[in-house]
């Protein structure tokens, strides 16, 4: 069946949620406590070991198949307009670019010379920018625009291009 990356990630999340739910139920049902005098069969929770293991194994297989398909998609599809970077490269570049944008924002907001409060001394100290804040502001704007364009381009690929995932739902 064909899925976009966004759909595949939603499918993956649904499968993981279902598996986690089964694991939680198994944890609560596999062991139980009774008091002396209670009838063990009256308080025994419903639990079928073989059925539980089979369902969990099937879900794990589906999760592997979906994750593999997403990984292959991410390593074989490029994001147009960004030097033919593959999606997996873009997913590495995005946090790098976010960090760069945050740093450049701080540098752009700096004053060329700013008085620094020093409560331990009577000396007057200054923080002096060792760069041109206007140049940092221009680079910040360029990096912010690149980040926005990259996010939009990645969203378009994730919502538009499809991959084949062979699993029975």
Task: Tell me how far apart the alpha carbons of residues 47 and 31 are, in angstroms, rounded to a whole number.
Answer: 9
CA of 121: how far to CAs of 25, 117, 124, in Å? 63, 9, 8
169 in a domain, yes or no? no
pLDDT of residue 116: 84
pLDDT of residue 124: 84
> Can you give the pLDDT of all 169 residues of the chain as single tens digits?
999 999 999 999 999 999 999 999 999 999 888 888 888 888 888 999 999 999 999 999 999 999 999 999 999 999 999 988 999 999 999 999 999 999 999 999 998 888 888 777 778 888 899 999 999 999 999 999 999 999 999 999 999 999 999 988 7
pLDDT of residue 119: 75
CA of 157: how far to CAs of 4, 71, 154, in Å? 8, 14, 5
89 in a domain, yes or no? yes
98 in a domain, yes or no? yes
The residue segments making up the domain with residue 154 are 2-164
Global pTM value: 0.80
E strands in the chain: 2-4, 113-116, 125-128, 162-164
Structurally, the chain folds into a number of domains equal to 1
43 in a domain, yes or no? yes
70 and 12 Cβ atoms separated by less than 8 Å:
yes
79 in a domain, yes or no? yes
149 and 83 Cβ atoms separated by less than 8 Å:
no
Report the residue count for the chain: 169
104 in a domain, yes or no? yes
């Amino acid at each position: 069946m064909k899925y976009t990356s966004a759909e595949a990630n939603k499918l993956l999340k649904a499968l993981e949620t279902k598996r986690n739910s089964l694991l939680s139920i198994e944890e609560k049902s596999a062991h139980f406590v009774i008091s002396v005098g209670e009838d063990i069969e009256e308080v025994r929770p419903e639990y079928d070991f073989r059925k539980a293991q089979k369902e969990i194994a099937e879900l794990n297989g589906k999760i592997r198949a979906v994750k593999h398909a997403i990984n292959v998609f991410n390593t074989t599809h490029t994001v147009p307009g960004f030097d033919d970077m593959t999606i997996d490269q873009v997913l590495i570049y995005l946090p790098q670019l976010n960090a760069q944008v945050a740093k450049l924002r701080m540098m752009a907001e700096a004053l060329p010379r700013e008085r620094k409060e020093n409560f331990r001394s009577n000396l007057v100290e200054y923080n002096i920018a060792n760069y041109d804040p206007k140049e940092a502001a221009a680079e910040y704007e360029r990096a912010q625009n690149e980040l926005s364009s990259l996010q939009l381009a990645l969203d378009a690929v994730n919502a538009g291009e499809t991959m084949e995932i062979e699993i029975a739902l």
